[in-house]
């Protein structure tokens, strides 16, 4: 595992269920609220050193909204006695209702806790990626603009995003951003290989029953953006990179598309046949990334749609056959 991914994983393991190391919980005055509760405990004769902050589930919360009606799960920030270790809380699935009243003090309820992007930012920073934001749209745009990331799909539905994840490109430390059907971002998480996430608001982590959700949260509500860090990617397969480079004609549903491959792993297409195949594409209709698989197999992720195309290159490197979203045939031929 690269130092980047090891750093992210170590941070996630330490802070997934507690406020981050910078003493910030985005959108609330965490430090002020915590100090007020600790002072309250001291006045009651308690030793503040015997208490620690933690996020707990409230499984009977009622926001009065369609998104969280009576009885939905929510999250709240508490101070709890140090005796309530992570192991103890794991045994009760972090359910605040199962913590005795005398062993917890509410710091802040569900309203206003918006710490997901902040947690992702801090996790990435500990891996050496400089990003500092508490807002998901800013997080996504910042990561989009980096030279060491590939946005594999941008607000794709679950079935398309699952095809992308199924390629095995996503690794621990990559990022998932979640948008509603209005295309606005509402949540973000660290991807944890092979199919889990770690995040704040609500806190989740692999290996903790009840809090170890798969990455595809709320599939009827969300669209998914998958952002992959390339820091430890293997170089392109030489059997594929050289013959792929340049222009190809791809036939799908009887129509012609013209793909332009780069050795760097980029691919784009146009509906217009190139007049000169020695010239690169100038006005692509869409862009994506190609990845070598085993032998002469390769795959494409089209960023804007989340479509996945898989191909097998022939021995001569001049033709390929493939599948569009594992549902329809593709035929490709290299242009001279």
**Above 80 in pLDDT, residue 66?**
no
CA distance 323 to 330: 5
Query: Is residue 301 assigned to a domain?
Result: yes
Going by pLDDT thresholds of 50, 70 and 90, the confidence category of residue 70 is low
Going by pLDDT thresholds of 50, 70 and 90, the confidence category of residue 62 is low
User: pTM of the full predicted structure?
Assistant: 0.95
**Above 90 in pLDDT, residue 32?**
yes
The DSSP string of 259-323 is EEE-TTSEEEEESSPPS-TTSPPSS-SEEEEEEE-STTEEEEEETTT--EEEEEE-TTSSEEEEE
Residues 174 and 252 reside in one and the same domain? no
Hey, what are 165's tokens? 């994840």
**Phi, psi torsion values for 66, nearest 5 degrees:** -60, -30
Going by pLDDT thresholds of 50, 70 and 90, the confidence category of residue 63 is low
At CA 98, angle to CA 68 and CA 92, rounded to 5? 90
Going by pLDDT thresholds of 50, 70 and 90, the confidence category of residue 211 is very high
Residues 293 and 269 reside in one and the same domain? yes
Q: Does residue 145 sit in helix, strand or coil?
A: coil
Residues 167 and 264 reside in one and the same domain? no
DSSP state of 84: S
C-beta neighbour count of 229 within 10 angstroms: 24
**Contact between 146 and 158 (Cβ < 8 Å):** no
Query: Is residue 1 assigned to a domain?
Result: no
Closest CA to 276 of 257, 254, 263, 260: 260
Residue 238: the pLDDT is: 82
Query: Is residue 23 assigned to a domain?
Result: no
User: 233: exposed, middle or buried (C-beta count within 10 Å: 0-12, 13-18, 19+)?
Assistant: middle
Chain centre distance of CA 198: 9
Closest CA to 201 of 9, 20, 5, 13: 20
Higher pLDDT, 59 or 265: 265
Backbone φ/ψ region at 192: left (φ over 0), alpha (ψ -120 to 50), beta: beta
Average pLDDT over residues 196-221: 94
Query: Is residue 11 assigned to a domain?
Result: no
Q: Which of 39, 73, 108 is the last residue of a domain?
A: 108
Residues 164 and 243 reside in one and the same domain? no
**Above 80 in pLDDT, residue 61?**
no
Residues 142 and 93 reside in one and the same domain? no
Average pLDDT, the chain: 95
The count of domains in the chain is 3
Residue 111: the pLDDT is: 87
Q: Measure the CA dihedral 212/216/220/226, to 10°.
A: 150
Residues 55 and 123 reside in one and the same domain? no
In which domain, by residue range, is 194 found?
116-229
**Contact between 127 and 11 (Cβ < 8 Å):** yes
Q: Which of 55, 89, 108 is the last residue of a domain?
A: 108
CA distance 178 to 331: 34
Residue 237: the pLDDT is: 83
**Above 80 in pLDDT, residue 150?**
yes
**Above 80 in pLDDT, residue 272?**
yes
C-beta neighbour count of 199 within 10 angstroms: 27
User: 90: exposed, middle or buried (C-beta count within 10 Å: 0-12, 13-18, 19+)?
Assistant: middle
Residues 158 and 73 reside in one and the same domain? no
Residue 262: the pLDDT is: 96
Residue 71: the pLDDT is: 57
Residues 72-123 have pLDDT tens digits of 678 999 999 999 999 999 999 999 999 999 999 999 998 899 999 999 999 9
Residues 208 and 265 reside in one and the same domain? no
Average pLDDT over residues 242-254: 97
Residues 223 and 255 reside in one and the same domain? no
Query: Is residue 314 assigned to a domain?
Result: yes
Going by pLDDT thresholds of 50, 70 and 90, the confidence category of residue 59 is confident
Average pLDDT over residues 38-57: 98
Q: Which of 176, 200, 229 is the last residue of a domain?
A: 229
CA distance 182 to 195: 25
What is the CATH classification number for the domain harbouring 250?
A: 2.40.128
Residues 78 and 122 reside in one and the same domain? no
Residues 154 and 57 reside in one and the same domain? no
Query: Is residue 190 assigned to a domain?
Result: yes
Residues 83 and 126 reside in one and the same domain? no
**Contact between 18 and 119 (Cβ < 8 Å):** no
Query: Is residue 5 assigned to a domain?
Result: no
CA distance 238 to 101: 63
Residue 72: the pLDDT is: 67
**Contact between 213 and 16 (Cβ < 8 Å):** no
Query: Is residue 13 assigned to a domain?
Result: no
**Above 90 in pLDDT, residue 41?**
yes
């Amino acid at each position: 595992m690269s130092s980047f991914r090891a750093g992210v994983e170590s941070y996630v393991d330490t802070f997934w269920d507690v406020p981050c190391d910078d003493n910030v919980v985005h959108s609330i005055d965490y430090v002020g609220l915590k100090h007020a509760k600790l002072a309250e405990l001291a006045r009651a004769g308690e030793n503040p050193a015997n208490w620690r902050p933690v996020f707990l589930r409230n499984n009977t919360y009622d926001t009065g909204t369609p998104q969280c009606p009576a009885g939905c799960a929510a999250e709240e920030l508490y101070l709890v006695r140090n005796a309530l270790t992570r192991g103890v809380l794991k045994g009760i699935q972090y359910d605040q209702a199962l913590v005795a009243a005398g062993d917890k003090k509410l710091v802040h309820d569900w309203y206003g806790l918006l710490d997901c992007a902040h947690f992702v930012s801090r996790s990435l920073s500990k891996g050496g990626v400089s990003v500092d934001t508490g807002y998901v749209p800013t997080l996504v745009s910042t990561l989009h603009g980096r030279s060491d990331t590939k946005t594999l799909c941008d607000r794709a539905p679950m079935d398309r995003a699952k095809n992308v994840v199924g390629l095995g490109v996503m690794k621990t430390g990559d990022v998932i951003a979640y948008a509603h059907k209005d295309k606005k971002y509402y949540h973000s998480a660290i991807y944890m290989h092979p199919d889990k996430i770690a995040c704040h608001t609500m806190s989740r982590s692999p290996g903790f029953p009840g809090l170890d959700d798969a990455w595809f949260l709320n599939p009827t509500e969300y669209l998914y953006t998958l952002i992959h860090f390339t820091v430890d990617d293997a170089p392109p397969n030489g059997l594929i990179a050289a013959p792929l480079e340049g222009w190809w004609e791809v036939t799908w549903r009887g129509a012609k598309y013209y793909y332009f491959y780069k050795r760097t792993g980029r691919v784009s297409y146009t509906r217009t046949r190139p007049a000169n195949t020695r010239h690169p594409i100038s006005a692509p209709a869409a862009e994506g990334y190609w990845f070598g698989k085993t032998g002469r197999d390769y795959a494409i992720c089209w960023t804007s749609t989340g479509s996945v195309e898989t191909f097998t290159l022939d021995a001569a490197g001049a033709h390929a056959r493939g599948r569009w979203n594992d549902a329809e045939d593709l035929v490709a031929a290299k242009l001279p």
